[in-house]
Chain A
């Protein structure tokens, strides 16, 4: 099946720093990628939808200036958490969808801990 990778798999950073998370589709082209956040013992929450070559669409309540999403190519999307704070500590998961299919393929997730 299709493979989606994320890098890094975990990261610890100091409060105030910025962290970039990469999401790559390894064997298919993804015109659409999704970014989710998951807090402990909770379900996934969609943060934003990114389409290659255009601006991301953010869900209500998600600050676009804090969570910068770039989808510059058909195989790579990045999420940058700017000026991270401890409350941003979470598990961030991306998924990718190859057109014209509806199925999504999920990355393994990135665990962010902000000290």
Chain B
């Protein structure tokens, strides 16, 4: 069993839809990261969370430490949001990565 599980694995949405990607983890963490990886491979760190909620533009990330669960929301999705979204958690000196959610937003 992976320490970090993401769902769904693949997601196709129409432009403008509200999107939610979920991440559950099984280890104690000091921080959780949401990463965005574009088709070329480059990675952008979207959020780092240890509690509560963060918002940046159309992106919102929430975390529930008690339930060991985080969600990434995209409002008013756009084709340029098409990418793989990866959840990663830091536990002590270890980093654990989810396998990613591949998002395709259709115009």
Contacts and interface: CB of A to CB of B under 8 A. Distances in A.
Q: How large is the interface on A (under 10, 10 to 19, 20 to 34, 35 or more residues)?
A: 20 to 34
Secondary structure of the B side of the interface?
strand
Q: How large is the interface on B (under 10, 10 to 19, 20 to 34, 35 or more residues)?
A: 20 to 34
A46 B31 CA distance: 16
Given A43-B100, A46-B95, A104 B30 contact: no
A76 interface: no
Given A43-B98, A43-B99, A102 B31 contact: yes
Given A42-B99, A44-B86, A102-B90, A108 B41 contact: yes
Interface of A: 34, 38, 42-46, 49, 91, 93, 95, 102-109, 111
Q: Which of A104, A105, A108, A109 has the most CB of B within 10 A?
A: A104
Secondary structure of the A side of the interface?
strand
B31 A93 contact: no
B97 A43 contact: yes
Contacts of B86: 43-44
